[in-house]
């Protein structure tokens, strides 16, 4: 190989390379032809034509090469080899592969690109070119050695085409094919394609499995309508006829009518297998169109819905079962509640009858005891010794006491049954009303009553008046031995809860017995010291309890007592 | 006023002790009283609404009826109801005199048209007082309507 002289023009060298020794005319024709070919090649914008000298230095870089590679001819001619605009990684691989193939070391440069061509082997390969801006594109390159008349290689010609579009198409095709294959090999979907008339053209593996037909049984033979429950097809045709107000035949037309109008159509149907077995399916129908949008067939993709239907049915059954159980429970509960209500009503009525007869019948004999004792005293008093008269008076007192006890017990018993008529009311007014009922201002003793401005209460005013009456009369009763009774009624807020209190300067009580304070018939004082039935505080306690509040007391022997209560829980435990 | 110039009243009471005490209290309160006694509801109705001519005459003479509520055979409320729905007796003053202080008895008695409701006190003096007040009120102070027919 000789080094090219820089003075030689490209054309001279190229022409020289293509020259053949023929007769003059033939030679002329040949030259003409080569000239035309040469011009065509050089001017083609769709091929990159790169000619090098025998060492690889670029000598020709045509328009196509300029366009594809982004270099100007001046950038590369006599400056670069094609190896420099190729992917170096690919060159290394190519060199390595050929080194193995030919058992000789091939350098991963220009030699790797032209080794085969230099041995007279036709060499067309794919290669990634790198543009001037660094971007890459796939190219198919054909390499030819340029030889002089003696066959000596004087350079190489690399003709390349941009392979990007082809590659993209290939990739797309590959994808489409893969997708199609996946769809048609799928055993879970039935894919049935038909021609415009509905005759099956394609019947995938899934369809074969689902229907029990082989593709050969159905392709070019039947329409998918045959695989549907005929009654459903009729019903569907009727429904569509009404919806679109035009007759639609109960066959294939009914299945694809909507899809043919570009309407997405997914519906549930019952399909029929080859053996007559039926199964529920969900079917999606699409029209297949050519590039101009003309319908060339239909694709019906179906999925067996049996499992879901079964699950649905099971769920429905379970729900129904549950509802039934629920109803049963409800009925039982209602019955029980009804029974209990009746029992309670009966119990209440019994109690009512009981207390009625207590109030009526127990009082009569007491009245007789008292009345006839009095009659004896009046009529026969002078005949009796003083002691006999005193005994009769004791009998009368006892009878009257028992009358009071009966009244208090009845009031107490009634508290549990009585409904609360809750409403807001003026507490201060109620307290003064009670004081007046109890004889305020007392002329026979010294009492100093202080009533603070009290907050509005919400509760049953009748029952709460009973509470205040009991508490105030207690305060008056147990402080009556003082020179001057002091009664203070006020309110305070304890832990955010409004609390009412009544304080006296009376005899008080021992806090050790505080827990017995509110029990029925619990008395802290001897009956002869302080009259009373021992029910008053129990009544107050019950009324407060029924309001959802609390009542408690603080006291010390001989140092007065304070009763606190709330109407809404809270405060002190 | 009857021909003898006595105040006439009807006492409807089944309990013998209560009856005796009531009679004691009444005679003590107003000596010039003629007290008719009925021992149950049936007797009271027969006395007031009997078919004979005398029933009507008796009824006309009455100043007041003292009526217990808890009575054998026909109870007090039923007696009250029948007396108030009968033209012959609907205007006669009736006072319920009972041991019951139950609200429903009070309310129902007034709804049926009673003129007064008195709870018998256990204490005999108070009982006597109550009876005396009833009598003086209804037989002396009260102006009854003129009953015709």
Judged by CB atoms closer than 8 Å, whether chains meet at B21 and A371 is answered as yes
- Answer whether A370 sits within 8 Å of B123, measured CB to CB: yes
Shortest distance, CA A393 to any CA of chain B (angstroms) = 12
Question: Which residues in A lie closer than 8 A to residue B98 (C-beta atoms)?
Answer: 360
With beta carbons less than 8 A apart as the criterion, state whether B28 and B20 touch.
no
Q: Which residues pair with A269 in a beta bridge?
A: A281
Mean pLDDT over B5-17 rounds to: 85
Residues of B in contact with A365 (CB under 8 A): 17
The answer to whether the beta carbons of residues A119 and A144 sit under 8 Å apart is no
A463 contacts in B (CB within 8 Å)? none
Closest Cα in chain B, distance from residue A520 (Å): 22
Q: pLDDT at position B65, please? A: 92
The candidate with the shortest Cα–Cα distance to A476, out of A540, A412, A426, A530, is: A530
Per-residue pLDDT reduced to its tens digit, B32-51:
778 899 998 899 998 888 87
- In a 3-state reduction of DSSP, which class is residue A403? helix
| Residue B20 structure tokens | 């005796």
Confidence at residue A439, expressed as pLDDT on a 0 to 100 scale: 87
Query: Rounded distance, CA A240 to CA A242, Å?
Result: 5
β-partners of residue A267 are: A283
> Alpha-carbon distance B77 to A379, whole Å?
36
CB contact under 8 A, A366 and B122: yes
Q: Mutation test of the interface with chain A: which of B122, B126, B131, choosing the one with the most A Cβ atoms within 10 A? A: B122
CA-nearest of A538, A563, A539 to A552 is: A563
For residue A511, what pLDDT is reported?
83
Give one DSSP letter per residue of A519-563, joined into a string.
STT--SS-TTTS---S-HHHHHHHHHHHTT--EEEEE-TTS-EEE
Which residue from B112, B118, B116 is spatially nearest to B141, judged by alpha carbons?
Answer: B116
C-alpha to C-alpha distance for A532 and A520, rounded to whole angstroms: 12
The alpha carbon of residue B21 is apart from the nearest alpha carbon of chain A, in Å, by: 7
Q: Other C-beta atoms within 10 Å of B62: how many?
A: 24
- Considering only CB atoms, A363 lies closest to which of B21, B122, B124, namely B122
Facing residue for A359 by CB, picked from B15, B102, B127: B102
pLDDT value, residue B106: 92
> Tokens at residue A26, please?
């033939």
**Secondary structure of chain B in HEC code, one letter for each residue:** CCCCCCEEEEEECCCHHHHHHHHHHHHHHCCCEEEEEECCHHHHHHHHHCCCHHHHHHHHHEEEEEECCCCCCCCHHHHHHHHHHCCCCCCCCEEEEECCCCHHHHHHHHHCCCCEEEECCCCHHHHHHHHHHHHHHHHHHCCCCCCCC
Copy the structure tokens of residue B107: 């309310």
**Is the Cβ pair A368, B17 closer than 8 Å?**
yes
Tokens describing residue A572: 């002190």
Q: What is the DSSP letter of A187?
A: S
Q: Residue B55's closest CA among B45, B63, B68?
A: B45
- Closest residue to B122, CB basis, from A360, A361, A370: A370
What is residue B148's predicted lDDT score, i.e. its pLDDT? Answer: 56
CA distance B46 to chain A (A): 26
User: Max CA-CA distance within chain B?
Assistant: 42
Q: Write the CB contacts of A288 (distance below 8 Å, at least 6 apart in sequence).
A: A193, A295, A296, A297, A298, A299
Neighbour tally for A95: CB within 10 Å: 19
Partner-chain residue, chosen from A360, A371, A396, that has the shortest CB–CB distance to B127: A371
At A284, list the tokens. Answer: 């999606």
- CB of A569 closer than 8 Å to CB of A492: no
Per-residue pLDDT tens digits for A172-219:
777 777 777 777 777 778 888 888 888 998 888 888 888 889 888 888
How many other CB atoms sit within 10 Å of the CB of residue A162?
18
Is residue B121 a contact partner of residue B130, using CB atoms and an 8 Å limit?
A: yes
B120 interfacial to chain A (CB closer than 8 Å): yes
Distance from CA of B11 to the nearest CA of A (A): 16
Contacts of A400 in chain B (CB under 8 A): 122-123
Partners of A396 on chain B (C-beta within 8 Å) are: 123-124
Tell me if residue A127 falls in helix, strand or coil.
strand
Burial class (CB in 10 A: 0-12, 13-18, 19+), A105: exposed
Element (H, E) at A49: strand A47-53
Q: DSSP strand E in A255-346: where? A: 265-272, 278-289, 295-304
Complex prediction ipTM: 0.76
| pLDDT at residue A23, as a whole number | 57
Distance (Å, whole) CA B8 – CA A91: 145
Residues 6+ apart with CB under 8 A from A98: A106, A112, A115, A116
Under 8 Å between Cβ of A540 and A561? no
Q: Do A361 and B99 touch (CB under 8 A)?
A: yes
- Which of B21, B98, B100 faces A368 most closely, judged by CB atoms? B21
pLDDT in 10s for each residue of chain A, 573 residues: 444 444 445 555 545 444 444 455 565 566 556 666 667 667 777 788 899 998 899 998 988 889 888 999 899 999 999 999 999 988 899 899 888 888 888 888 898 899 988 888 878 888 899 999 989 888 888 888 888 888 888 889 888 888 887 778 777 777 777 777 777 777 778 888 888 888 998 888 888 888 889 888 888 888 898 888 888 888 889 988 888 888 888 888 888 888 888 887 888 888 888 888 888 888 888 888 887 788 888 888 888 888 888 888 888 888 888 888 888 888 888 888 888 888 888 777 777 777 777 777 778 888 889 889 888 988 888 888 988 888 888 888 888 888 888 888 787 777 777 778 888 999 999 999 999 999 888 888 888 999 999 999 999 998 999 999 999 999 998 898 889 999 999 999 888 888 999 999 988 888 887 777 887 767 666 666 677 777 888 889 989 988 889 999 988 888 889 999 998 765 444
The model carries a pTM of 0.44
CA distance A243 to A177: 39
Count the residues in chain A.
Answer: 573
pLDDT digits (tens, 9 = 90+) for B70-123: 888 888 999 999 999 988 888 889 999 988 878 888 999 999 999 999 988 888
Question: What 8-state DSSP symbol labels residue A53?
Answer: E
Specify whether the CB–CB gap between A17 and A154 falls below 8 A: yes
Structure-block tokens of residue A126: 């794919």
């Amino acid at each position: 190989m000789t080094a090219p002289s820089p003075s030689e023009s490209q054309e001279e060298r190229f022409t020289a390379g293509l020259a053949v020794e023929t007769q003059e005319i033939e030679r002329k024709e040949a030259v003409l032809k080569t000239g035309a070919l040469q011009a065509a090649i050089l001017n083609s914008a769709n091929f990159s034509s790169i000619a090098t000298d025998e060492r690889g230095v670029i000598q020709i870089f045509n328009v196509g090469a300029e366009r594809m590679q982004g270099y100007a001819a001046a950038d590369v001619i006599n400056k670069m080899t094609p190896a420099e605009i190729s992917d170096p990684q690919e060159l290394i691989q190519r060199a390595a592969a050929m080194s193995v193939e030919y058992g000789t070391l091939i350098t991963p440069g220009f030699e790797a690109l032209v080794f085969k061509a230099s041995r007279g082997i036709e060499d067309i390969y794919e290669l990634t070119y790198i543009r001037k801006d660094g971007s890459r594109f796939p190219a198919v390159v054909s390499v030819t050695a340029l030889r002089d008349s003696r066959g000596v290689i004087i350079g190489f010609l690399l003709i390349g085409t941009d392979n990007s579009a082809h590659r993209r198409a290939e990739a797309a095709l590959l994808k489409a094919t893969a997708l199609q294959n996946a769809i048609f090999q799928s055993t879970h979907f039935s894919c049935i394609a038909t021609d415009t008339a509905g005759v099956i053209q394609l019947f995938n593996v899934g369809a074969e499995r689902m229907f029990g037909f082989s593709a050969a049984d159905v392709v070019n033979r039947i329409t998918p309508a045959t695989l549907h429950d005929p009654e459903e097809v009729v019903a569907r045709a009727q429904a569509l006829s009404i919806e679109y107000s035009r007759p639609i035949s109960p066959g294939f037309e009914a299945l694809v009518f909507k899809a043919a109008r570009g309407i997405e159509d997914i519906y549930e149907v019952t399909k029929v297998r080859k053996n007559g077995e039926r199964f529920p399916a969900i079917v999606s129908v699409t029209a297949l169109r050519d590039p101009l949008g003309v319908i060339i067939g239909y694709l019906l993709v179906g999925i067996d819905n049996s499992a879901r239907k079964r699950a649905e049915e099971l769920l429905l059954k379970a729900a129904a079962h549950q509802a039934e159980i629920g109803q049963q429970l409800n009925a039982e509960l209602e019955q029980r509640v009804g029974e209990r209500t009746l029992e309670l009503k009966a119990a209440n009525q019994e109690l009512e009858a009981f207390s009625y007869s207590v109030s009526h019948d127990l009082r009569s004999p007491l009245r007789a005891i008292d009345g006839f004792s009095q009659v004896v005293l009046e009529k026969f008093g002078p005949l009796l010794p003083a002691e006999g008269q005193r005994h009769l008076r004791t009998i009368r007192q006892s009878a009257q006491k028992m009358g009071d006890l009966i009244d208090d017990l009845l009031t107490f018993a009634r508290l549990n049954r009585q409904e609360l008529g809750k409403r807001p009311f003026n507490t201060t007014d109620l307290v003064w009303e009670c004081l007046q009922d109890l004889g305020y201002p007392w002329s026979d003793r010294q009492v100093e009553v202080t009533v603070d401005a009290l907050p509005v209460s919400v509760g049953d005013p009748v029952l709460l008046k009973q509470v205040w009456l009991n508490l105030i009369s207690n305060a008056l009763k147990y402080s009556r031995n003082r020179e001057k009774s002091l009664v203070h009624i006020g309110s305070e807020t304890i832990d955010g809860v409004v609390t009412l209190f009544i304080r006296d300067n009376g005899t008080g009580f021992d806090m050790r017995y505080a827990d017995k304070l509110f029990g029925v018939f619990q008395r802290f004082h001897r009956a002869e010291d302080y009259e009373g039935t021992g029910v008053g505080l129990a009544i107050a306690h019950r009324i407060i309890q029924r309001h959802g509040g609390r009542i408690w007391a603080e006291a010390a022997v001989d140092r007065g007592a304070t009763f606190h209560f709330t109407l809404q829980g809270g405060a002190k435990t | 006023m009857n021909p003898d110039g006595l105040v006439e009243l009807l006492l409807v009471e089944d309990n013998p002790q209560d009856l005796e005490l009531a009679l004691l209290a009444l005679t003590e309160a107003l000596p010039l009283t003629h007290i008719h006694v009925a021992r149950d509801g049936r007797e009271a109705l027969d006395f007031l609404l009997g078919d004979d001519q005398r029933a009507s005459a008796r009824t006309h003479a009455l100043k007041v009826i003292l009526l217990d509520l808890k009575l054998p055979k026909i109870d007090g409320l039923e007696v009250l109801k029948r007396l108030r729905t009968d033209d012959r007796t609907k205007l006669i003053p009736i006072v319920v005199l009972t041991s019951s202080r139950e609200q429903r008895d009070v309310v129902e008695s007034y709804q049926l048209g009673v003129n007064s409701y008195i709870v018998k006190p256990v204490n005999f003096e108070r009982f006597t007082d109550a009876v005396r007040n009833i009598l003086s009120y209804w037989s002396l102070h009260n102006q009854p309507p003129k009953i015709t027919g």
